[in-house]
A and B are shown apart, each in its own frame.
Chain A
Amino acid sequence: RKEVEQDPGPFNVPEGATVAFNCTYSNSASQSFFWYRQDCRKEPKLLMSVYSSGNEDGRFTAQLNRASQYISLLIRDSKLSDSATYLCVVNGDDKIIFGKGTRLHILP
Chain B
Amino acid sequence: DTEVTQTPKHLVMGMTNKKSLKCEQHMGHRAMYWYKQKAKKPPELMFVYSYEKLSINESVPSRFSPECPNSSLLNLHLHALQPEDSALYLCASSRSFQTNTGELFFGEGSRLTVL
> Taking beta carbons and an 8 Å cutoff, which residues of A are in contact with B?
31-34, 41-46, 49, 87, 89-91, 94, 96, 98-101
Contacts and interface: CB of A to CB of B under 8 A. Distances in A.
B2 A100 contact: no
A94 B43 contact: no
B41 A44 contact: no
Nearest to A45: B106
A41 B110 CA distance: 11
A89 B35 CA distance: 14
B45 interface: yes
Given A43-B2, A43-B90, A87-B42, A96 B102 contact: yes
A96 B100 contact: yes
Nearest to A101: B42
B51 interface: no
Contacts of A100: 41-42
B100 A91 contact: yes
B100 A99 contact: no
Nearest to A6: B42
23 contacts: A31-B101, A34-B103, A41-B88, A42-B108, A43-B2, A43-B106, A43-B107, A43-B109, A44-B90, A45-B106, A46-B105, A49-B103, A90-B102, A91-B101, A91-B102, A94-B97, A94-B98, A96-B45, A96-B100, A96-B104, A98-B43, A100-B42, A101-B42
A18 to B, nearest CB: 25
A46 B103 contact: yes
B101 A99 contact: no
Contacts of B111: 41
Q: Give 3 closest A-B pairs by Cβ, nearest first.
A: A91-B102, A98-B42, A43-B106
B34 to A, nearest CB: 13
A81 to B, nearest CB: 18
A99 B41 CA distance: 9
Interface in B31-88: 41-43, 45, 88
Contact of A46 (B100, B104, B109): B104
